[in-house]
A and B are shown apart, each in its own frame.
Chain A
Amino acid sequence: MVLTPAPTAETPLSARGLTVSYGEKPAVFSVDATFPAQSMSAIIGPNGAGKSTFLKASLGIIPRLSGDVSVFGTPVEKARHRIAYVPQRASVDWDFPTTVIDVVQMGLYRKVGLLGRLSGQMTHRARACLDRVGMSDFGDRQIGQLSGGQQQRVFLARALAQDADLYLLDEPFAGVDAATERAIVDVLKLLKAEGKSVVAVHHDLSTVREYFDHVFLINVRRVAEGSVTTAFTTENLNATYGGRLAATHMAKLGGVAS
C-alpha cells in the first residue's frame, strides 16, 4: 500500500482508483496518480498500456468506470478554464476547411463564449501564440498544407491560447521533425519556468531524462511514479515493459541506476 497525499489546491492533477474499460478488458485499472506542480511530467508505458486512455479519462473525454480525478483540488468540470489540452495530431481531419489562425483561435473559446465576438486584442493574442511556436508566417494557411511537425506546433499554439495552468499533451513528439521537437520542448520548459505544470504522454525513453523531471509509469495498472532520479529506474522500466526492453536499450538510457 502506497500512501499518496490528498489532492490539494496546489496539485494540478491527481487521480484515485481510476478504472476505464473498452468492452470487457480494463484498459486502465484502479490507477492512483499525482502530478506535481510547476514541473514537467511524463506518462510512460508500452503500446496499449493505457497512457492516452488515462489522460482522456482524467479529462472526461472518455467515460470512466470508477475513480475520482481532481484538478487543482476541484473536479475537472470546475477547473476547465485552467486546463489546456493537446490531443494526438492524428485524431483530427487535417482536410477540415479552416486556416491555421482559426484553429489557434479555437483555444480562445472559453474567453469568447458561444456567441461573443473575437476582439482585435484576442486576434492579436492568437497571433502571438503562433509566434511563440515559430509559426507566425503561417496564420492564413489552409491547415491541410502543413507538415506533421507544423500541425503539432499549431496544436501547441492553440493550447497556449487557452492560457491555462495545467498543460496536458498526448504524444506531442510523435512523428515530428527534430526542429519541431526542439521548439516544443523549449516552449514547454518556458511554461514550467512561468510556474505552469506540464503532463505529457511520452514514447521516447531516451529523452525522458533530458526533458522531464517527474515520471509516471503505467501498464494498465500503475507501476511507479516519482521524480526522474528515483522512479525512472531499470527495475521499474522492466516492470512496466515486462522485459520487452533489451538490455542494450536499457544501458543506452544512460545513468539508469538499478
Chain B
Amino acid sequence: MMGADFVQFSLVPILIGIFASVACALPGNFLILRRQALIGDAISHVVLPGIVVAFLLTGTVAALPMLIGAAGAALTAVILIEAVKRLGGIESGAAMGVVFTTLFAGGVLLLEQSDTSNVHIDVEHALMGNLESLIWFRATGWASLWDPVALSSLPQELPRMAMACCLVIVLMMIFWRWLKIATFDESFAQVLGIPATGVGVGLVITAAIAAVAAFDAVGSIIVIAMFICPPAAARLMTNTLTAQVWWSVAFATLSAILGYVFAGYGPMWFGSQNAVSAAGMIAVVSGIILGLACVFGPYRARTGADRAPPAL
C-alpha cells in the first residue's frame, strides 16, 4: 500500500484532503465559539452559484475568476439578507436560511441548465469534489518527490490548496490575540482599540477563502463538515483555546486520512467491488469523531457556575 501505487494514486488526494480539512477546521474553531457555526454551511451554499456564474462568464475553472465569482455571490447574499430582513421585518437567522438555500438551489439549476459537460463541473462534483481523480501521473515512487520533471505534473489543486491552508495558518497566527479577545468579549476588545467588527468580518472572509479553495478540489460536503465537526469535537477534549485548535487540526487530519482509506478500501473489506466517494467518507469520519467525542470527551459537560469541575 505504501509503494509506487500509493504515491501515484493516493498521496496527492490524501494531502489535498488534509490541507482542505485543516484550512476549514481552523476558522471553524472561532466560528463555533462565536455561535456562528452555520456561517460555514452558508458560505459553501452561496459559493456554488458564484462559481457557476464565473465559469459561464469566463469559460474556465481557473482559481481567480472562481474566487471573484464566489466573492460576488457572497456580497449578493449579504445584500439580499438585509433586504429580506428589512422588507419582511423578520430576524436575521430566518433571512439567512431563505437566501442561502435559494442561492444554492439557483446554483444547482444553473449547473443543470448550462453546458458544462466539457469540464468537471456538475452537481456531483459540487457536492463531492473530484478527490479520487487527482492522480499524480508521472510519479513512479517516493523518489519522484525529488524529481522536478515528475513534480511538474502534480495536479495544480495540490499547491493551490496548500497555499490556502498556509494562508489560513499565517493569518490565524498573526491575528491570534485579536481573534481571542474579540471572540471572548467583543465590547472589551473595542475599548482596547481592537477593530472587533473587522476581526469578525475578516474571520468570515478567511473562512470563505478556505471554502472556495477547498470547494474546487473536494466539494462542499467536506467544507460543511470540517467547519463544524473537528472544532466541535476538539472543544469537548480540552478547556483551553490553544489546545482546542491543536485538537481540531489533529481531528481534521485524522478524518482526511481515515476517510480516504475507508473510502478506497472499506467497501472491499465488505466484499463490494466499488470504492465510495472519498469526500463523503471523510465527512462521515469527522462526524463519527464528533460522536465519539460527545460520548467520551473529558469536557463534554457545560461546566457552568455551580457544577463540580469535570473528573479526569
Interface residues of A (CB under 8 A from B): 56, 59-61, 77, 80, 83, 85, 87, 91-99, 102-103, 106, 109-110, 112, 114-115, 142, 144-148, 151, 158
Residue in A59, A91, A144 whose CB lies within 8 Å of B191: A59
Residue in A103, A144, A151 whose CB lies within 8 Å of B302: A144
8 A Cβ contacts from B132-188 to A: 174-175, 177-178, 180-181, 183-185, 187-188
8 A Cβ contacts from B93-130 to A: none
Q: Is the CB of B305 within 8 A of A94?
A: yes
Query: B190 contacts which chain A residues (CB < 8 A)?
Result: 59-61
8 A Cβ contacts from B186-210 to A: 187-188, 190-194
Q: B64 → chain A, closest Cβ, in Å?
A: 30
Q: Is the CB of B188 within 8 A of A85?
A: yes
Query: A151 contacts which chain B residues (CB < 8 A)?
Result: 305
8 A Cβ contacts from B260-312 to A: 302-307, 309
Asked if B235 is an interface residue, CB under 8 A from chain A, the answer is yes
Q: B47 → chain A, closest Cβ, in Å?
A: 29
Residue in B191, B239, B305, B306 whose CB lies within 8 Å of A80: B191
Q: Is the CB of B185 within 8 A of A92?
A: yes
Q: Is the CB of A56 within 8 A of B187?
A: yes
Asked if B33 is an interface residue, CB under 8 A from chain A, the answer is yes
Q: Is the CB of B235 within 8 A of A97?
A: yes
Total A-B pairs in contact (CB under 8 Å)? 88
Residue in A59, A96, A114 whose CB lies within 8 Å of B33: A96
Query: A77 contacts which chain B residues (CB < 8 A)?
Result: 193
27 residue pairs of the A-B complex, CB under 8 angstroms, read A59-B187, A59-B190, A59-B191, A60-B191, A61-B191, A83-B191, A85-B187, A87-B185, A87-B187, A87-B188, A91-B185, A92-B185, A95-B303, A98-B239, A106-B181, A106-B188, A109-B177, A109-B192, A109-B194, A110-B193, A114-B178, A142-B239, A142-B303, A142-B309, A144-B239, A145-B305, A151-B305
Known: A109-B194, A142-B303. A98 touches B184 (CB 8 A): yes
Interface residues of B (CB under 8 A from A): 33, 35, 174-175, 177-178, 180-181, 183-185, 187-188, 190-194, 235, 238-241, 243-244, 302-307, 309
A80 to B194, CA, bound (A): 10
A109 to B185, CA, bound (A): 13
Q: Is the CB of A97 within 8 A of B239?
A: yes
Query: A92 contacts which chain B residues (CB < 8 A)?
Result: 184-185
Query: B188 contacts which chain A residues (CB < 8 A)?
Result: 85, 87, 106, 158
Query: B184 contacts which chain A residues (CB < 8 A)?
Result: 92-93, 96, 98, 103, 106
A141 to B174, CA, bound (A): 27
Contacts A80-B193, A142-B303 given; 9 further ones with Cβ under 8 A? A60-B190, A60-B191, A80-B192, A92-B185, A93-B35, A97-B238, A98-B239, A98-B240, A114-B177
Known: A94-B305, A114-B178, A144-B302. A99 touches B193 (CB 8 A): no
A94 to B184, CA, bound (A): 9
List the A residue with the shortest CB-CB distance to B33: A96
A77 to B191, CA, bound (A): 9
Q: Is the CB of A85 within 8 A of B238?
A: no
Query: A106 contacts which chain B residues (CB < 8 A)?
Result: 180-181, 184-185, 188
Query: B303 contacts which chain A residues (CB < 8 A)?
Result: 95, 142, 144-145
Q: Is the CB of B185 within 8 A of A95?
A: no
10 cross-chain pairs, A with B, having the tightest CB-CB distances, nearest first: A144-B303, A85-B191, A80-B193, A61-B187, A142-B239, A92-B185, A61-B190, A96-B184, A87-B187, A97-B241
Q: A199 → chain B, closest Cβ, in Å?
A: 13
Query: A109 contacts which chain B residues (CB < 8 A)?
Result: 177, 181, 192, 194
Query: A91 contacts which chain B residues (CB < 8 A)?
Result: 185, 187
A94 to B306, CA, bound (A): 12
Q: B89 → chain A, closest Cβ, in Å?
A: 11
List the B residue with the shortest CB-CB distance to A114: B177
Q: B28 → chain A, closest Cβ, in Å?
A: 14
List the A residue with the shortest CB-CB distance to B29: A97
A152 to B192, CA, bound (A): 19
A95 to B34, CA, bound (A): 11
A109 to B180, CA, bound (A): 11
List the B residue with the shortest CB-CB distance to A146: B305
Query: B239 contacts which chain A residues (CB < 8 A)?
Result: 97-99, 142, 144
Residue in A93, A97, A112 whose CB lies within 8 Å of B240: A97
A99 to B177, CA, bound (A): 15
Query: A56 contacts which chain B residues (CB < 8 A)?
Result: 187
Q: B179 → chain A, closest Cβ, in Å?
A: 10
Q: B79 → chain A, closest Cβ, in Å?
A: 21
A85 to B181, CA, bound (A): 14
List the A residue with the shortest CB-CB distance to B305: A147
Query: B181 contacts which chain A residues (CB < 8 A)?
Result: 106, 109
A147 to B307, CA, bound (A): 10
A85 to B191, CA, bound (A): 7
Query: B183 contacts which chain A residues (CB < 8 A)?
Result: 96
Query: A115 contacts which chain B residues (CB < 8 A)?
Result: 174, 177
Query: A93 contacts which chain B residues (CB < 8 A)?
Result: 33, 35, 184
Query: B241 contacts which chain A residues (CB < 8 A)?
Result: 96-98
